[in-house]
Amino acid sequence: MAIQKCPICLATVTPNPRYPRFLCRQCATRATSVDGRQLEFANTDFTGGFAASYADSGEEYPSHECYVDGVRCHADEARFGGIVIEAVAEARVPHPER
C-alpha cells in the first residue's frame, strides 16, 4: 500500500487516492485566510455542503482558499461528509512572463 503524507507536516496519513494532497487533521485546524485570520469550515447541513467563516468574528469567508504555514490550500466538502483541505500544487502556479 502506498504511503501518503501530510504535505504540510509530513505526518503519515491514511492514503486516499481521491485526495492525494490532503492535510492531516492537525494541520487542517490551523488553516487561515491570506491575511492570517483563523478560519473554520463546516458542512452546511447533514447532506454536506461547504461553509467557511472567520473563527474570530463568525463572519462568512466567501472562498475555498486558505493557507497553512504559507502553503496555499483549498478547502471543500469531502465526498463522504466532513471537510477536506488539500495543498494546492505550487507547480501549477503560472510563471510570470517578463
Catalog residues that contact Zn ion under the rule CB under 5 A.
6, 8-9, 11, 24, 27
Nearer to Zn ion, 21 or 77 (CB): 21
Q: Shortest gap between Cβ of 54 and Zn ion (angstroms)?
A: 22
Q: Shortest gap between Cβ of 7 and Zn ion (angstroms)?
A: 8
β-bridge mates for residue 42, sequence order: 51
Q: Rounded to an integer, what distance in angstroms lies between the CA atom of residue 26 and that of residue 93? A: 26
Nearer to Zn ion, 26 or 44 (CB): 26
Please name the residues in contact with 43: beta carbons below 8 A apart, sequence gap of 6 or more: 49, 50, 51, 77, 81, 82, 83
Nearer to Zn ion, 24 or 73 (CB): 24
